[in-house]
Amino acid sequence: MSEQKQDLSSYPPFFFQQSESVRTVEPKDSIPPISDEPDPLPCIDLQHLNPEEIGKACRNWGMFRLVNHGIPIELGTQLQEQLMKVFSLPFEDKQAGLQSPITYFWGTAALTPSGVALREKVQKVNRIEGIYARLHLLPQMTTDDPMFISFRNLLEEYGKHMAELIRCLFEALRKNLGIDPALSKPYLSEYHGLFRLYRYFPCSESSKEEGISAHTDSTVLSIVNQDQVGGLQVFKDDRWIEIRPIPNTLVVNIGDMFQAMSNDEYKSAEHRVLNKQEARISICYFVHPEDDVVIQSTKYKPFTYKDFRAQVQEDIKTIGTKVGLQRFKPT
C-alpha cells in the first residue's frame, strides 16, 4: 500500500529539521539478506494446525507465516486503505484528531505514549510515525469526523478477529510447552491487547535507513499484517533474512514474555524494518501478560510484565536501546 504522491505536510517536521538523527544501516549491519531462494519462513496453516510444526518454528525461528487465518481479506484491505488515508492527513490534524484512547506518535516505537516527549534524547530516531490503540478502549473514542469514525469501526472489527486468533495460537503453544491452563488468562491478558499501526517513511535509497532498528518484541505474541512494499527482516544464522510480503498471510512473532515462559525453548525473534523508496504500512497487534502476574521461569529471576516494561523504558531513556531479558538473568 503506497502513496501515489508524497505530501510533505503529512510528515513530522522533525525529520526535515534534524536529518542527522536518522538511523542509517551501519556497515556491520549490512550483511546481505537471503534473496535467491523461496520464502524461507516456516508456514503454518491455522486450519490444519500441526503441533510439531508450530513448535519447531518457534524454537528455530521465533517467527512464522500464518495462512488460512480466518481474517476476512476485504476487512484487512479496507483497514490498510483507511489507515493510509489517516496517515496522509496533515501532521497537525493527526496530532489534534488522534488523542486518547488512540494516540499518535512518531520517531521511536519502543517508547510508550507517555514517553514520546523524550524521543529527542534517544540515540537514534527511527523514520516512522504510528498510532497506538488499546483494543478494549476503542469504544471510548469520541469523534465527529467521518474518517476517524470509519477508522475506529474498522479497527474494532479487525481487533476482535485478532483477539480470537491470538487466543487460538497461544492455546496450541501452551499445550506444546505443558504450561498450566490456569495461567492462560493472566499470561495472555486481553486488557493488554493493543495495536501499533505504522507508516514507514520513504527514503531515496532503498534499504539504507532503518524504519525500526533491530529489536525483539516485549510481548507474549505479536501478529503483523504488512502491505506489499516489504522491508521486514529477521536475524537468523548470523544474517538478516528478508520476510517478503505475501498477500493474505500474517507474520507471527514470539515475544520476550513467551521466551521466558518457555524457559528459552521458544525464541523471541530479533527483527527490524528497512525503509524503502515507497511508504510502507504495517498493522501490528500485540498481547502482553497482566501487569502484576509473576512470570515463573527456570532461566530468569521472577518478574512481572510491569517490571519488564519499566526496565525497558528506563534503558531506552538512559542508554538509548532496549536490553530486555538479559536484565532479568540470575546474578
Task: Identify the pLDDT of residue 117.
Answer: 43
Average pLDDT over residues 154-168: 96
- Torsion angles phi and psi, residue 16, rounded to 5: -100, -10
Helix (H), strand (E) at residue 295: strand 294-295
* pLDDT tens digits for range 215-245: 999 999 999 999 999 999 999 999 999 999 9
Query: How does DSSP classify residue 201?
Result: P
Name the residue among 127, 131, 129, 121 with its Cα closest to residue 316: 121
* pLDDT tens digits for range 45-67: 999 999 999 999 999 999 999 99
Average pLDDT over residues 198-210: 83
Q: Is the pLDDT of residue 27 over 80?
A: no
Q: Is the pLDDT of residue 36 over 70?
A: no
Q: Is the pLDDT of residue 119 over 50?
A: no
Active site residue: 65, 152, 174, 280, which one? Answer: 280
Helix (H), strand (E) at residue 146: helix 146-177
Contacts of 164 (CB under 8 A, 6+ apart): none
Q: Percentage of residues in the chain with pLDDT exceeding 90? A: 67
The CATH code that applies to domain 12-294 is 2.60.120.330
Distance CA 55, CA 52 (A): 5
Lowest mean pLDDT among 22-26, 179-183, 274-278: 22-26
* pLDDT tens digits for range 282-315: 999 999 999 999 999 999 999 999 999 999 989 9
- Active-site residue flag, 196: no
Residue 264 φ/ψ region, left for φ over 0, alpha for ψ in the -120 to 50 degree band, beta for the rest:
left
| First-to-last C-alpha distance (Å) of the chain | 47
Grid cell 488460512 in the structure block, residue: 68
To 5 degrees, how large is the angle CA 227–CA 44–CA 271? 50
Task: Identify the pLDDT of residue 110.
Answer: 56
C-alpha cell belonging to residue 198: 505504522
| CA 205 to chain CA centroid, nearest Å | 24
| CA 59 to chain CA centroid, nearest Å | 20
Lowest mean pLDDT among 129-138, 147-156, 198-207, 290-299: 198-207
The per-residue pLDDT of the chain, averaged, comes to 87
Burial of 95 (0-12, 13-18, 19+ CB in 10 A): middle
Average pLDDT over residues 260-276: 95
Average pLDDT over residues 198-223: 88
